[in-house]
Amino acid sequence: MRIDLHTHSNVSDGTEDPEVLIGSAAAAGLDAVALTDHDSTAGWDRAMAAATALGIAFVPGMEVSCKTDTGISVHVLSYLHDPLHPGLLTEIEKSRSARLTRARRMVELMAEDFPITWELVEQHVTEGATVGRPHIADALIALGVVTTRSEAFDRILTARSPYWVNHYAPHPAHAVALIRDAGGVPVFAHPSAFTRGAVAGGAVLDEMIDAGLLGLEVEHRDNPESARVKLRTIARQRGLLMTGSSDYHGRGKPNLLGENTTSAETFEAIQALATGTPVG
């Protein structure tokens, strides 16, 4: 089986509708694919219907945006959780609201230097999507300020820019505990993605494991090979599952569906551990 457990639709920061993404997954020869939009499950039903029609397995998921006490960004993948679990749902809605407020403020700051408006940004946000910097980047592309999302992030949307605004996000250990409470399987996404900025250290990982972390996303293009060796060792020592994924975003990033995959044995273990929502 070819299994890709990390993709994004335009419900968050991908560029394809959920059903189009599933079609792309089938065309790429995948047997199973997870939709893991940021802080949203709004694309599940459409993706599930498309997967059923195309005869591939659909894995309901979500990528929870988190932040350590020192401000380091951490992402936790949640698989097969109950999307209506009160604790997790409340925390996700709190994060989504904070991201919206933050995005509006960043646009206000950028409007002093660029002809950008909130109305223009909204044109690039799919209904039900979690608003974020990629949508602002798309507005900047439409204005001709930049040519790609990567350029927008490097030049204008970076944490080092004068337009940066912080926002609330749960501690990763808290997110892990909520995912477990919701019957889901939490996996630490791209834990060694040094090119994205500072990464969480061993103390944070220990807290996440104590809270119920069940896996590490080892095979990911943003984890250098030397780091993958260390992650495999940690996973074996700590009894954690090891996953592999593309982190596909459609045209939003160069990542290709199926460029990294998860073993059938790990996929079966994830399904056995979950008590929230079954694979479709």
pLDDT digits (tens, 9 = 90+) for 111-137: 999 999 999 999 998 877 778 899 999
Confidence of residue 98 (pLDDT cuts 50, 70, 90): very high
Confidence of residue 218 (pLDDT cuts 50, 70, 90): very high
Please list, residue by residue across 7-45, b when 16 or more beta carbons sit within 10 angstroms of its beta carbon and e when fewer do: bbbbbbbbbbbbbbbbbbbbebebbbbbbbbbbbbbbbe
Task: Please check whether residue 41 is in contact with residue 62, taking contact to mean a CB–CB distance below 8 angstroms.
Answer: yes
CA distance 107 to 261: 37
Mean pLDDT of 62-88: 96
| pLDDT score at 196 | 77
Range 3-93+168-273 classified under CATH 3.20.20.450:
no
Q: What is the pLDDT of residues 17-34, one digit of tens each?
A: 999 999 999 999 999 999
| pLDDT score at 253 | 86
| pLDDT score at 195 | 76
For residue 252, is pLDDT > 80? no
CA distance 134 to 147: 13
Mean pLDDT of 101-113: 96
Domain edges within the chain = 3-93+168-273
pTM, 2 dp: 0.92
| pLDDT score at 210 | 98
